[in-house]
Chain A
């Protein structure tokens, strides 16, 4: 059990801003009043994109049955993309009574025989953690048997939230993969991308720019990821955390163990993308690189401005209300501003203190930070004459009642809004939303209604 991460320590993460002000970090969920995913989901999200690894979920059917093939994490892997496959022991009452350990061992052997992955991740879940199946031992034995990493992931749902689960996923990678292999070569400009999962190909919006600058992505956790590179991650010069609070424990430990400094940034919108590229160059500390990066930023921003021109007139004077959570509270706001849309309010109910600060910075002193968006947003739309509501599906009614355009920010997106090019996708989608007469048309009264 020595390898099991200590959950209390992870919750007391010293790199987390809120731990300076609050005693309980990521508080326990309230029965009957909780939304959001569990630790298992978080771990799955952080590790699933390794396309050449198999992900075996040791649990009953809910865990994997409702969660596989749900995230459009792009991969350039030319072999069979194992992330879009589901493997589960689908335990039965028999396993609950007599243990499911035999099934785990047999399942790993089956996977090796049929798919020969580079690694196998084995996820504990509530039931199998509770009945005490020893996946540490099973993984070790399987690893010896097959001579590949077989990584136990201890993030059963009941230990906490999705965020904690992502940390636990990071811990598993740190304990079993990172530092187990030496890279063939190293350069002075090697970085790890941490917390970038390449959903809808987000990272491909900016990795070509990194490449052009001579910055090499040594490994990722775990967007477009492979097993071999993450094993060499300890040789990177810089850890780049992309839009994810959850993996700060991992990067702090990598700094302590391997002396790798880390920076946290986002590639959402023009300003964030430019700032992000520059921050990486500065983090690598090479004067020539910084100069080259500035030149590239100028060039890309000019290109973008040119391409956004047709939209400028359209978005001029348009106002938006944003109702979302987490880093989206400010990152989407910034992107909207980049398009010339005024963000009059953003919801911060489901945001960390860090996010709230950033939201305040982004919106300026006149912007409203909504603590109770469900009630506030309708009023704000009236007061400001907003043209667009960006929110989750439940808010659709508000938009229809107010007769303004609506965009679902929680919808599984099909195309990337990341980097410079992604902003054009966002512009096109918002233009379509604003031009769409549907929100006014469906609000028509039926002839039999007064």
Chain B
């Protein structure tokens, strides 16, 4: 594709939209039913994370902190604060699982969380996610990997009807559900790890939840290994499948870099047809493909005269750019939070790892921004169009139900971008 710059060129980040690894881990644990994510670090990391997701999802967020203080930080190897936390959490609630994930503080002093976890007599999964490494996307993937390694029971039997879906972090709950339903339409029994589609999909439950309410159950995770096929979506998730295959060498793996746009959706449909031997897809799928084709044609005029900046996590950028590219949108600049092999494949004229100051400095290169909440000030100041995507979106409600994937979501997404571009041009000339 175009030029790719893999490294930051500055000593600092200015107006960052990168998010931290432990926050990605938290979100992954929130896709497990009845889970209590436990962040190991100072109380602020947890507080920031809680507020961050509460505002994005408009839902109460379950999370606790080991509340490491300076005295504990110096004297303790993590044992005290973790053991005490588990005691105090289980005094009030009975989680199906405690999701222990670290931050930079305990990692700097080298806490042995694996050793501590071994001492704890309660269902607990641990994962090392220092926030001075990786980012949001990798925190989610590492947690998924840890869940598989520590929970899934090995087996040699295969259930050809059972399929595992491992989605990347930037897929909103409804998108996960739509992919799940798409596959189920071909007769598969689908399990998603982690599964936000039934936990943070913005549903009104029966009571206030102190734990995550919905998601895949711990029992279901334990029994995942007999699935005939695992599908990963997003390059960050590819490694998780390898770990899963260690639990059952008979399990097959298919990878998708993303599931946005006609081509990627076609590839998924083709795979499912081959797997099932069906001659055609369920009727609604065929219908939605025709609507998607029509949407591409209807939106191409507006998109074709629009230059885009896409700022997101690598796996998310890949999907957005492909979708726009297919209908003639010119992604002149894509900014990624972090480096990834995905960047080489992105359909954009220029791809770089950077921040929103970079976006501001290259403002002449694009007309419309697809990015998170922090892009709003930028769009406003530079009079650019804006389509809000990614974490966080504190400006709008309804985030968990925004669907950009497969034929159906793809149609919605193109319409939204085309309309935003038209509206922007109207504002500029009017």
Contacts and interface: CB of A to CB of B under 8 A. Distances in A.
Tell me, yes or no, whether A binds B.
yes
Interface of A: 28-41, 56, 59-70, 84-93, 95-96, 102-103, 106-107, 110-111, 114, 126-127, 130-131, 156-162, 393-398, 400, 412, 442
A175 B223 CA distance: 60
Nearest to A105: B11
A11 to B, nearest CB: 12
Given A29-B69, A31-B66, A93-B132, A62 B45 contact: yes
Please name the 5 residue pairs, one residue from A and one from B, whose CB atoms are nearest each other, closest first: A38-B44, A32-B85, A157-B42, A32-B88, A106-B11
B383 interface: no
A32, A114, A157, A158: residue with the most chain B Cβ atoms closer than 10 Å: A32
A62 B68 contact: no
A393 B108 CA distance: 35
Given A29-B67, A61-B131, A96-B104, A38 B43 contact: yes
B12 A88 contact: yes
Nearest to A115: B14
A300 B48 CA distance: 40
A65 B18 contact: yes
Given A62-B48, A126-B41, A107 B11 contact: yes
A38, A87, A106: residue with the most chain B Cβ atoms closer than 10 Å: A38
B121 interface: no
Nearest to B133: A93
Nearest to A159: B70
Interface string B128-158: 0011110100000000000000000000000
Contact of A87 (B12, B48, B89): B12
Contact of A393 (B41, B60, B205): B60
A159 B71 CA distance: 8
B47, B51, B72, B73: residue with the most chain A Cβ atoms closer than 10 Å: B47
Interface string B81-94: 11011111101100
Interface string B360-378: 0000000000000110010
B109 interface: yes
Nearest to A129: B70
A396 B54 CA distance: 14
A33 B69 contact: no
B22 interface: yes
Given A36-B43, A85-B14, A127-B104, A62 B20 contact: yes
Contacts of A96: 104, 108, 132
Contacts of A34: 43, 46, 64-65, 67
Contact of B48 (A66, A127, A131): A66
B67 A30 contact: yes
A395 B60 CA distance: 10
Nearest to B48: A66
25 contacts: A28-B69, A29-B67, A31-B65, A32-B86, A32-B87, A41-B44, A60-B130, A61-B19, A63-B45, A65-B20, A66-B20, A69-B373, A84-B377, A86-B14, A86-B374, A91-B104, A91-B132, A93-B130, A96-B132, A107-B11, A110-B11, A126-B42, A126-B68, A131-B108, A398-B208
Nearest to B86: A32
Interface in B371-404: 373-374, 377, 394
Given A32-B87, A60-B130, A90 B16 contact: yes
Interface residues of B, number: 70
A449 B206 CA distance: 12
A67 to B, nearest CB: 6
B67 A31 contact: yes
Contacts of B11: 89, 102-103, 106-107, 110
Contacts of A88: 12-13, 16
B105 A126 contact: yes
Contacts, number: 210
Contacts of B58: 393
A93 B11 CA distance: 14
B169 to A, nearest CB: 14
Contact of B43 (A37, A130, A400): A37
Contacts of A84: 377
B15 interface: yes
A127 B105 contact: yes
A92 B42 contact: no
Interface string B16-56: 10111111000000000000001001111111111110110
B373 A62 contact: no
Nearest to A155: B44
B16 A65 contact: yes
Nearest to A90: B13
Contacts of A93: 130, 132-133
A37 B13 contact: no
B373 A32 contact: no
Given A29-B67, A62-B131, A69 B208 contact: no
B69 A67 contact: no
Given A34-B64, A62-B23, A130 B47 contact: no
Interface string B192-233: 000000000000110110000000000000000000000000
Contact of B47 (A38, A159, A394): A38
Contact of A61 (B18, B54, B69, B373): B18
A38 B47 CA distance: 8
Contact of B105 (A37, A91, A158): A158
Contacts of B42: 38, 40, 126, 156-158
Contact of A160 (B16, B46, B69): B69
A12 to B, nearest CB: 16
Contacts of A103: 11-12
B103 interface: yes
A31 B130 CA distance: 19
A92 B89 CA distance: 32
A315 B45 CA distance: 41
Contacts of A102: 11
A38 B205 CA distance: 31
B360 to A, nearest CB: 10
A31 B47 contact: no
A40, A102, A442: residue with the most chain B Cβ atoms closer than 10 Å: A40
A161 to B, nearest CB: 7
A159 B69 CA distance: 6
A30 B104 contact: no
Contacts of A442: 204
A164 B349 CA distance: 48
